[in-house]
Amino acid sequence: MKRLTGTAIINTAEGKRIAFTYSEIDEETGSIIEDNKKESFIALDNEFLNTIHQVENYIKENRLK
């Protein structure tokens, strides 16, 4: 099984890059197969981009004032 361990939204020239890290765990033993694996992608889906903007606006309104 894969467990999400971290996420980030990064503003790039290409658009909103979503970076994430995860660990892969053996479902039967609980042993860590691999950890700190990293992947990223550019967000293209309009509904997902709207969600990203909502998160950013929440931070601006509630954490940066």
What total number of domains does the chain contain? 1
Distance CA 55, CA 11 (A): 14
Distance CA 51, CA 16 (A): 12
Return the pLDDT at 2. 98
Residue 26 structural domain = 2-62
Antiparallel, parallel or unpaired: β 32-42 and 15-25: antiparallel
On average, the pLDDT of the chain sits at 98
Distance CA 56, CA 48 (A): 13
Backbone dihedral region of 4: left (phi > 0), alpha (psi from -120 to 50 degrees) or beta? beta
- Rounded percentage of the chain residues whose pLDDT exceeds 70: 100
Rounded average pLDDT over 16-39: 98
Return the pLDDT at 42. 99
Return the pLDDT at 58. 98
Q: What is the pTM of this model?
A: 0.87
